[in-house]
Amino acid sequence: MALENLKKLVTEGEPDGAVEEVQKAMNDGVDVLTILNDAMVPGINRAGELWKEDVYFLPDVIMSAEAFKDCMSIIEPKLKTAGGEKIGKVVIGCVEGDMHDLGKGLVVAMLRANGFEVVDLGADVPVSKFVDSIKAENADIVGMGAYMSTTMTLMKDFIETFVKEGLRDKIKVMVGGVPITQKYSEDVGADAWGQDALDTVEKAKKLMGVA
**175-202 pLDDT per residue, tens:** 999 899 999 999 999 999 999 887 898 9
**pLDDT confidence bin for 31, thresholds 50/70/90:** very high
**Tell me, what's the pLDDT at 191?**
98
User: Domain check: are 92 and 169 in the same one?
Assistant: yes
- Sheet containing strand 116-120, edge to edge, reads 116-120, 88-94, 141-145, 172-176, 192-194
Domain count, the chain: 2
User: Domain check: are 38 and 126 in the same one?
Assistant: no
Widest CA span in the chain: 54
User: Domain check: are 61 and 116 in the same one?
Assistant: no
Residue 193, classed as helix, strand or coil, is: strand
Last residue of a domain, one of 50, 65, 82: 82
User: Domain check: are 76 and 92 in the same one?
Assistant: no
User: Domain check: are 35 and 136 in the same one?
Assistant: no
Residue type, 128: S
d(CA 155, CA 15): 34
**Tell me, what's the pLDDT at 81?**
60
Which CATH number belongs to the domain containing residue 150 in this structure? Answer: 3.40.50.280
User: Domain check: are 152 and 196 in the same one?
Assistant: yes
Query: In whole numbers, what is the pLDDT of the chain averaged over residues?
Result: 90
d(CA 38, CA 102): 20
- Residue 19 Cα to chain centre, angstroms: 20
Query: Torsion-angle region of residue 55: left (phi > 0), alpha (psi -120 to 50) or beta?
Result: alpha
The reply to whether the predicted model has a pTM over 0.85 is: no
- CB burial of residue 16 (10 Å; 0-12, 13-18, 19+): exposed
Q: Tell me the residue range of the domain where 182 lies.
A: 88-207
